[in-house]
Amino acid sequence: ISATPVAVRKICCIGAGYVGGPTCAVIALKCPHIQVTIVDLNQSRVDAWNSPDFKLPIYEPGLEDVVRQARGKNLFFSTDVDKGIREADLIFVSVNTPTKKSGVGAGFAADLNYVELATRRIAAVATSSKIVVEKSTVPCRTAESMRTILEANSKNGCRFDILSNPEFLAEGTAIKDLFSPDRVLIGSLQTPEGISACKSLADVYGNWVPQDRVLTVGLWSSELSKLAANAMLAQRISSINALSAICEATGANIDEVAFAVGKDSRVGPKFLKASVGFGGSCFQKDILNLVYLSESLHLPEVAAYWRQVVEMNEYQKRRFSKRVVDTLFNTITGKRIAVLGFAFKADTGDTRESASISLIRDFQSEKAYVNVYDPQVEHSQIWMDLSEASPSMSLDQIKKQVTICPSAMDACKNAEAVVIATEWKEFNNVDWEAIYAGMNKPAFVFDGRLLVDAEKLRKIGFQVTTIGRGERL
Ligand code: NAD
C-alpha cells in the first residue's frame, strides 16, 4: 500500500448548501488547477447556482463575486451525483445533519440519514480509490461508521481514506472566513494512509491558507472539536443573556458589564453581545447533539450542563416576548406589532431557528397583528417557517394576522410597537422620525439586538426597551 500523498486534481462536493456551496466555490477560486464539481439532489437549488443572472440560492456577502469568477472555468454545479463521485479523487460530504424529528433520540440526536445515503452512494458508484472528507457536522465517531459502510461495499479494490474537516465559517461572513480562516482542522486516522490523505487535503488548503493555520489531529478529536466550538460559542451567548436578565432587574447595563468583563484578556471581548437569543441551524442542533452524546456515554451531569445553554436561550426569547406584552399595558390583543428582521442574523437570508419565528408565534398567540419586514428573506420562506411554527393554524389563518411588508417604513405604519429582531444595519439608517409620525401613540421600540441609539429614539418620542438595560437608574 502506497502512503504517498495523492495530488488532488478533481474534487466533488456532495451538498450544495450554505456550507458546500461557498466552501467549494472558494476552493475553486483559490485552486485554478483543481476541477471542483458541487452536486446536489435538489434540482432547483442547482439551477439557482447555475442561473445566468447569478441569482444564487443563498445570500452571502462576496459569494456572487467568487462564483462569477470561477463558474464554468473550474467550478461546476450539477445534479449528476454519480458522475461527480466517479470523476473525483477527493469527495466532501457536506449534506445536512438536522436534529432528529422522530424515533430514538428525537429532539436531540443528529439525523445521520443524509450522511449515510451519500456514503452508500460513494461506495456504490466509485470505480477508483477516493479520499472521503466528512465536512458535515457529525457526532463523534461518525467517520468510523462511514468507513465501515465504504469498506463493506467497496468494489474493484477501491480504497477509501476518511478525513474529518469540519467547517467553522459563520453565515454572513462566510467568504471572509473562508479566505482567511482562524484555522482549518483536518482529522485523520494516525496510520500511514490516513496521514498521507491528510497531507493531500492540507496541500489543497495550502494554496491560500498559511501552514500554521492548518491543524492536523486525530479523527475523533476533529469531530468533537466542531461540536465543542459551537457549544462554547453558544455558551458565551447564554451566559451574557443570563446576565442581561440580572441587568434588567437591577439597573446595571449589559453593554458596560460585557465591556468590563471582556477587557480581561482571559475572557476576551468577542461574542459577548446580549440579544433576544441565538438562532441558526447550528448552535442549538450541535449542543443537543453533544447532550445526546453525553447521555449515550452515561455522563448525565455533562448532558445537563450543556442542555442548560439551550434552555437559557429559550428562556431569553420567552422573556423578551413577555416584556413586549407587559410593556404594552399587559395586552397586545388586536394591536399591530412591526417585527424588523426575520433572518437569524444580519447578512444572511437563512431563517433556520431564527428568534423572529418564536417572537411572531408568541405575538400571534396573544392575538396581535404582526407586520414583518426583512431585506433578504424570501416571502415563501417566511410563510413556510410560520406555518411550521403553528401547525394547528392554516396558512390562510396565519395570513389574517401576519403581513409581509416591502420596507421597514411600511411595516411600522399604524403599529403600536417595533421589535428589532435581526441586526440589519439598515434599521439604524431608517428615518425614525417618519416612522414615529406614522405609528400609534405611545410608540414603543423593543431592541432585541442592542442595535439602535436608544437615546436618539427617546428624543424623538419613542418609549425604548432594550435587552439588558433596566428602568432603575
Ligand atoms: P444545507 O441544508 O444548506 O445543505 C445540504 C444540502 O445537501 C442540501 O441542499 C441537500 O439537498 C443536499 N443533500 C442531502 N443529501 C444529499 C445526497 N445524498 N446527495 C446530494 N445532495 C444531498 O445544509 P448546510 O447549512 O450547508 O449544512 C451542511 C452541514 O454543514 C451540516 O452538517 C451543518 O451542521 C454543517 N455546518 C453548517 C454551517 C452553517 O453555517 N450553515 C456551518 C458549519 C457547519
Q: What is the pLDDT of residues 86-142, one digit of tens each?
A: 999 999 999 999 999 999 999 999 999 999 999 999 999 999 999 999 999 999 999
User: Which residues are CB-contacts of 328 (< 8 A; sequence separation ≥ 6)?
Assistant: 335, 416, 417, 444
With bands split at pLDDT 50, 70 and 90, how would you rate the model's confidence at 66?
A: very high
Distance 346 CA to ligand 1 centre (A): 20
**Ligand 1 nearest atom to the CA of residue 42, by list position:** 11
Residues pairing with 217 in the sheet: 187
- Residue 58 Cα: closest atom of ligand 1: 3
- Which tens digits make up the pLDDT trace of 110-120? 999 999 999 99
- On whether both 172 and 316 belong to a single domain, the answer is no
Q: Sign of dihedral through CA atoms 372, 376, 381, 385?
A: negative
Q: How far apart are CA 250 and CA 244, in angstroms?
A: 10
Contacts with 373 (C-beta within 8 Å, 6 or more apart), sequence order: 338, 339, 340, 341, 342, 404, 405, 406, 407, 408, 410, 411
Instruction: Clarify whether residues 107 and 203 are in a common domain.
Output: yes
Q: How confident is the model at residue 156, as a pLDDT?
A: 83
Q: Is residue 311 part of a domain?
A: yes
Q: Which residue lies with its CA nearest to atom 25 of ligand 1?
A: 18
**Same-domain check for residues 325 and 462:** yes
Dihedral sign for Cα 280, 281, 283, 287, please. Answer: positive
Q: What pLDDT, on a 0 to 100 scale, did the predictor assign at position 471?
A: 64
What's the structural domain count of the chain? 2
Q: Tell whether 391 and 307 lie within a shared domain.
A: yes
User: Mind listing the pLDDT tens digit for each residue in 407-445?
Assistant: 999 999 999 999 999 999 999 999 999 999 999 999 999
Q: Which residues contribute to the annotated binding site?
A: 15-20, 40, 45, 95-99, 136-137, 167-171, 226-230, 266, 273-279, 282-285, 344-345, 352, 449
Residue 3: what pLDDT? 75
For strand 184-188 and strand 160-164, is the pairing parallel, antiparallel, or unpaired? antiparallel
The binding site for substrate comprises 167-171, 226-230, 266, 273-279, 344-345, 449
Task: Give a yes or no: residue 400 inside a domain.
Answer: yes
Instruction: Tell whether 178 and 287 lie within a shared domain.
Output: no
Binding-site residues for NAD(+), in ranges, read 15-20, 40, 45, 95-99, 136-137, 171, 282-285, 352
Is residue 228, in this structure, part of any structural domain at all?
A: no
Residue 410 lies in a domain: yes
CB 52 within 8 A of CB 25: no
CA of 20 to the centre of ligand 1 (A): 7
Ligand 1 mean position to 110 CA, how many Å?
A: 13
448 and 326 fall within a common domain: yes
- Residue finishing a domain among 156, 185, 209: 209
Instruction: Verify whether ligand 1 is closer than 6 Å to residue 114 (CB atom).
Output: yes
33 and 152 in a common domain: yes
Residue 277 lies in a domain: no
Specify whether 335 is located in the same domain as 443.
yes
What's the rounded mean pLDDT across residues 149-161? 94
Q: Kindly state whether residues 161 and 309 are assigned to the same domain.
A: no
Ligand 1 close to Cβ of residue 45 (< 6 A)? yes
Determine the atom of ligand 1 nearest the C-alpha atom of 20. Answer: 26
**156-213 per-position pLDDT tens digit:** 889 999 999 999 999 999 999 999 999 999 999 999 999 999 999 999 999 999 999 9
Last residue of a domain, one of 181, 209, 237: 209
Percent of the chain exceeding pLDDT 90 equals: 97
Return the residue whose CA atom lies nearest to atom 1 of ligand 1.
17
Band of pLDDT at residue 1, cut at 50, 70 and 90: very low
pLDDT of residue 472: 55
The CA distance from 163 to 147, in Å, is: 10
Q: Are residues 185 and 333 in the same domain?
A: no
To the nearest whole number, what is the mean pLDDT of the chain? 97
Q: In terms of domains, do 290 and 197 share one?
A: no
Does a structural domain hold residue 432?
yes
Q: How many CB atoms lie within 10 A of CB 164?
A: 29
164 plus 306 within the same structural domain: no
Pocket lining: 177 vs ligand 1, CB cutoff 6 Å: no
Specify the ligand 1 atom closest to the Cα of 137.
32
CA 417 / ligand 1 centre spacing (Å): 37
Coil, helix or strand for 289? helix
Within a domain: 1: no
Residue 171 CA: nearest ligand 1 atom is 40
**pTM of this prediction?**
0.96
Contact 373, 410 (CB under 8 A): yes
Q: What is the pLDDT of residues 349-399, one digit of tens each?
A: 999 999 999 999 999 999 999 999 999 999 999 999 999 999 999 999 999
Residue nearest (by alpha carbon) to ligand 1 atom 38 = 19
* 274 is a domain residue: no
Domain-ending residue, one of 209, 228, 257: 209
Find the 296 Cα to ligand 1 centroid distance in Å: 25
Tell me, what CATH number does 434's domain have? 3.40.50.720
**Pocket probe mutation, ligand 1, options 14, 95, 285, max atoms within 8 Å of Cβ:** 95
Answer whether 349 contacts ligand 1 (Cβ < 6 A): no
Q: Is 42 in the pocket of ligand 1 (CB under 6 A)?
A: yes
Could you list the residue range(s) of the whole structural domain that residue 429 is in? Answer: 283-466
Any idea which residues carry the catalytic annotation? 282
